[in-house]
Structures are given as structure tokens and as C-alpha cells.
Amino acid sequence: MKAFLILEDGTVFEGTSIGAKKEIISEIVFNTSMTGYLEVLTDPSYAGQAVTMTYPLIGNYGICYQDMESKKGWPDGFIVRELSRMPSNFRSEDTVQHFLEENDIPGICGIDTRALTKILREKGTMNGMITTNEDYNLDEILPKLKAYIVTGVVKKVSCDKKEEYVPGDIGSKEGKADKNVAVIDVGTKKNIIRCLLNRGCNVTVYPCDFDAKEVIASKPDGIMITNGPGDPSECTDIIEQIKILSEAGIPIFAICLGHQLMALAHGAKTYKMKYGHRGANHPVKNLETGKVYISSQNHGYVVDADSIDASVAKPWFVNVNDKTVEGLTYMGKKVKTVQFHPEANAGPKDSELLFDEFMNMIGGNK
């Protein structure tokens, strides 16, 4: 069946329909990773977006459900050059096509994803529609695309109620826990929780509408604020609760959206990037050590460096390519944040050591 990707600038790509047979309007973004498409598909940070994979062949190693980063697929749509329908991998349990159908995600294959990516890089991220309607009317569609705004996605991806995990859960190492960590779920990935479990922590996950006083009353040794989707400035209620958490004296480590929310809670500002950072090869520099890490990233917003009060926080990491803020250390507090994903293992597990630094903050490393 034919499918069409229509961008808000009027560009139309024709390809073949894959996945669910439904029409969607979404923000069109691209990811430059060569592997890890299942992790992309199950990353809650992609809620409200349709993802273009720049690598030309997707699906060749199939689907291994153990590698899922959450309970389901989250992107609104999936856009690929070529979809492998016959995966070859001893771990494969399913195909991408069937996964998309089961998760109600429509997609399109057979289009020039490199050309699409070039448009998004030159003109910036824009909205688009995936449709199988061959009689589409651009005059009717384009105003709808320009009016579309991603909203309410953090609530959509967060857990509904408090969840508890102990070492040995979700594929983590068995062992005795001697620390308790509260995780604020604004779109968490399983591996964030697993990294804490592997380091001897009991983990309590709180939904995004958490009460900071309840979290503090539970007396955790540390608090983790996770990644997540959407515009951070929209999360006004969460920001107010984070203000309370940050004044409690409990060590806090925040990732991605959590990093942005912490900055907003301390008076800084965020802005939307032209096309964001989404991929597994983004170099970031630790300003304290001078060491550069290759990081996995997925964000369209960034903390405005000029809005950071030097008496409140100082840059911890910067992006080597565009010099944007990739991490902050808060003055006089045990609070550190990073924009990238230390749990994502972009290659060597180099930046995962940031979890060890968090453990040092809470007195958990022996």
C-alpha cells in the first residue's frame, strides 16, 4: 500500500506503508544511530514525534523484547529507507513490521531518508503527516500541520502509580541493597533503573504528578530525575515540586528532561534547538577533567547557557560540536545533571561511570 509523508513546508515523499494503517500528524525528527532501533522505538522521550532513521537499513537483526527500554513503543510514527522483513539474528523474536502493528505505530519505508534529514537540518524540525490517502489535499493539510503542537506527553509516558524494584529485577544483578533511591519518572528508560539496581540500590519510582514532601518523607539516600519527552517549560507543576526536592539536602542526579527541569527550577531558561541532538555519537566534554565522552542523546530542547546564574550553577559538560550545555553542577548542593544518556551505552560504557559518581554522592560506593 502506498504511503505519503507530507511536511509542513509542502514537501511530499511517497513510499510504502508499514506498521499500523492510520493517519497521524506529528513532529518529524531524525536519529543518526546505526543500531538500536528497538531502543529508539521504546524510548518514552520520542512520544509526540515521528522518528526518521538515517541509517538506510532497519530491522535486519529483528526485535529482541529483552532490549526494550519501556513497556511499549512510543513514537507517533516510524520512517525508514529500507525495512528488512526477514531478520537474521539468534536473539530475534519478532520483526519490526509486526512490532509496529502491535504497538499501533504507523510508518513509511522506501523514501530517501537522507534527503529528508537534509531538509530538517537546513530548515529545522517541522511537523508532518503520514497518510495512506492518495487523494490528500495539501490546502487542507498544511494549516493543520503548522498548527500542531506537542503537549501533554510527560503525563502520557509516566507510570500511573508508585513502583518498587530491588536488585535482580528487570534483568539487573542479584545482590543485597544498602541504599534507597527515589526515581522521578518523567519518561524513564528501564536501563536507568537497572543501572541503580546493579549498584546495590532499592528503587522506588514515582509518577510525574508526585508530591515532593512524600518523596522527602520516605528518606531516600538519593533522588534520580529521568529523561522524558516534550517542552520542559510546559511542566510547571513538576518544576515546582523539583524546587522543593532541591532544597531538601538530598543528593540528586538528573538526566535529559530532568536536567532541563532542574535548570528551570533554578531560574534558568530553555529553548528549542533547530533540529536537536538524536543519535549515539555525540561528543561531550567534562569541564572538570577535560575528558571527552561519546554519548547517546535524544533531545530537542537545551538549557540556555546565558541564562544560568553563575552563583547557582556552573557548566559540568559541554557539547564538543556546538558548545551547548550538556551538564550542570549546582553550587552548595549535592545536585548534578546531564543532558545526555549515561545509561545508553553508545559504545564503550564510558559515561555510565556517572552513576558511580552519583553513588559516591549518596555514600554508596565502597
Which residues are designated catalytic?
256, 341, 343
Q: How far is CA 318 from CA 23, 27, 288, 354, in A?
A: 39, 26, 11, 15
Torsion angle of the four alpha carbons 35, 39, 41, 42, in this order, in degrees rounded to the nearest 10: 180
Instruction: Say which residue the cell 513503543 belongs to.
Output: 73
Q: C-alpha cell of 306?
A: 546565558
* One-letter identity of residue 114: R
What are the binding residues for L-glutamine? 45, 228, 230, 257, 260, 298, 300-301
Return binding residues. Answer: 45, 228, 230, 257, 260, 298, 300-301
229 within 8 A of 48, measured Cβ to Cβ: yes
As a whole number of angstroms, the distance between CA 174 and CA 112 comes to 46
Q: What is the C-alpha to C-alpha distance for residues 350 and 9, in angstroms, rounded to an integer?
A: 40
Instruction: Give phi and psi for 116, each to the nearest 5.
Output: -60, -45
Residue 317 CA to residue 327 CA, distance in Å, equals 4
- Closest by CA position to 276, among listed 70, 111, 126: 126
179 φ/ψ sector (left φ>0, alpha ψ -120 to 50, else beta): beta
CB 146 within 8 A of CB 41: no
Closest CA to 52 of 119, 123, 102: 119
Q: Which amino acid is at 52?
A: T
- Compute the radius of gyration of the chain from its Cα atoms: 20
